[in-house]
Amino acid sequence: MGAAHQITAGFMPLFDSAVLVAAGELGFAAREGIDLTLHRETSWANIRDRIAIGHFHLAHMLGPMPLACNLGLTPLASETIVPFSLGLGGNCVTVSNT
């Protein structure tokens, strides 16, 4: 296997970021030749701005954020491509008393 591709990803600590976290923490990314560095962020605005200025190669974002970035409706407009959706809302962990 050749050299790993270095990828930096921003995410918010929410259930739908589990795909990114699992890819990094459980070694799924490494098995595909990706050196994945995760950066936990504290706000959607941080993610929006850091992807626009190139700090992140990819990011966990709210659905409308890439559209707003592409349309120039954000402080730092950027061309953003959305290859897939991590979640469609309503994500949860359900437990019972038993």
Partnered with residue 19 across adjacent β-strands are none
Q: In the predicted model, what is the mean pLDDT of residues 18-23?
A: 90
Residue 1 has pLDDT above 60, yes or no: no
Window from 9-13, 17-21, 33-37, 83-87 with minimum mean pLDDT? 83-87
Contact by Cβ (8 Å): 59, 10: yes
Contact by Cβ (8 Å): 37, 29: no
Tens-place pLDDT, residues 49-95: 999 999 999 999 988 888 898 899 988 888 888 877 766 666 666 77
Domains detected in the chain? 1-98 (3.40.190.10)
For position 80, what pLDDT does the model report? 87
